[in-house]
Amino acid sequence: LTHKPVNAEKDCYVEFTRIHGGCPYVGLARAHIAGTDYGEPQVRAEPRSEPDPTQLDGVYNTEHGWMYTCDCGNYYHQGKNVPWADGKGQKIQESETVGLRMWHGSLIAYINGREIGVMCEGLQGQFVWAADLEEDGTSVRITGKPPPRCEKTKDDAAMLDESKAELRQEDHDNDGTHS
């Protein structure tokens, strides 16, 4: 698990390079499972009922993990192969990369820099980038990079900016100060 939290409502990107061995799962985990609350108060009415996900057979087996499996491109959450919101994954070989972009609550996947689809939508809160290394000798490298430019997010960002401008104009028109 990485240390620096990722806010689901922001735009951030990392690449996982498959270095060697096994069947790595790469993706996101809720920030609180990394053993820290990153400065935010964490109030629980009762003790956590499930065991520490890092002591289980991978974070992909919990409700706290959203993971891409490098051996076949499946998307796992709660230990299940879950349908993609849009698109589908593909297998990667050693030295190839899976890029993951958290963009306004959506987790978008890339293979070797090419967008392949949206794994899931509607994520909220703080996360950390994570890799589950199923077998001894399995390794991946996690590299933070600037988010890639793509038509989907450019179009969505333009629509979002346009919607915000329209709302600001409506607020201005309704505040009684216009002429």
Between CA 50 and CA 78 the distance in angstroms is 13
Q: Provide the token pair at 158.
A: 């333009």
Between CA 148 and CA 51 the distance in angstroms is 37
Q: Would the pTM count as exceeding 0.85? A: no
Of 57, 56, 7, whose CA–CA distance to 30 is shortest? Answer: 7
**So what's the pLDDT on residue 174?**
45
Amino acid occupying residue 53? P
Between CA 32 and CA 54 the distance in angstroms is 11
**So what's the pLDDT on residue 93?**
92
End-to-end CA distance of the chain: 56
Question: Is the separation of the CB atoms in 42 and 30 below 8 Å?
Answer: no
Q: Is 98 helix (H, G, I), strand (E, B) or coil?
A: strand
Tens of pLDDT along the chain (179 residues) come to 676 788 899 899 999 999 988 889 999 998 876 543 433 333 333 333 444 444 446 777 788 889 999 989 999 898 889 999 999 899 999 999 999 999 999 999 999 999 999 999 999 999 999 998 877 788 999 999 888 876 555 555 555 555 445 555 544 444 443 33
Of 59, 78, 163, 71, whose CA–CA distance to 120 is shortest? Answer: 78
